[in-house]
Amino acid sequence: MRMTLDTTDKRILGALQRAGRMSNADLSDAVNLSPSACHRRVQRLEKDGYIKDYVALLDARKMGVPTTVFVEITLQAQADEVLDAFEKAVARIPDVLECHLMAGTADYLLKVVAENTDDFARIHRQYLARLPGVAQMQSSFALRTVFKTTALPV
């Protein structure tokens, strides 16, 4: 059963999405709660699964993978064993950041990072071309990221 989020819970979640390393004292000031009440609410939000994890978001350019490629994949069949085999194999590719099962013309949409086009050619040859059950693949290179966020609306 999903708990109801009140305005204070939403302010806590919004603040933590912007600055996940914020201390409890700073968070309690930001949402106008006592530190102990704020800590209890954060613990409840974690326990109830609203807060999944705390991570560091790395700069792709500084990490040497500034090229983003979106790959649409169409499978040969929609049988459960084909989907399962594909999903298990794609989850093992280190350069794939996201894999989404789609409705529409493609079955899956992958978000892949690479150093450059030559590196993507290596990823394609070494990993993507070997994925099980693939009938068709189309890759689109992002020229520039106009907007990007990990923050969900609260």
Count of domains forming the chain: 2
Q: Are 100 and 108 in contact (CB under 8 A)?
A: yes
CB 85 within 8 A of CB 77: no
- Whether residues 72 and 102 share a domain: the answer is yes
CA distances 151 to 13, 18, 50, 104, Å, are: 9, 7, 13, 26
pLDDT in tens, 93-148: 999 999 999 999 999 999 999 999 999 999 999 999 999 999 999 999 999 999 99
pLDDT digits (tens, 9 = 90+) for 58-88: 999 999 999 999 999 999 999 999 999 999 9
What CATH number did the domain enclosing 98 receive? 3.30.70.920
pLDDT, tens digit, 9 for 90 and up, residues 6-16: 999 999 999 99
86, 131: one domain: yes
Predicted structure pTM score: 0.90
Q: Give CA torsion, residues 17, 150, 120, 99, to 10 deg.
A: 120
Can you give the residue range of the structural domain that contains 135? 67-141
Answer yes or no: are the C-beta atoms of 141 and 93 closer than 8 Å: no
Q: Are residues 91 and 121 in the same domain?
A: yes
Integer Cα distance of 41 and 8 in angstroms: 9
Q: How many CB atoms lie within 10 A of CB 22?
A: 14
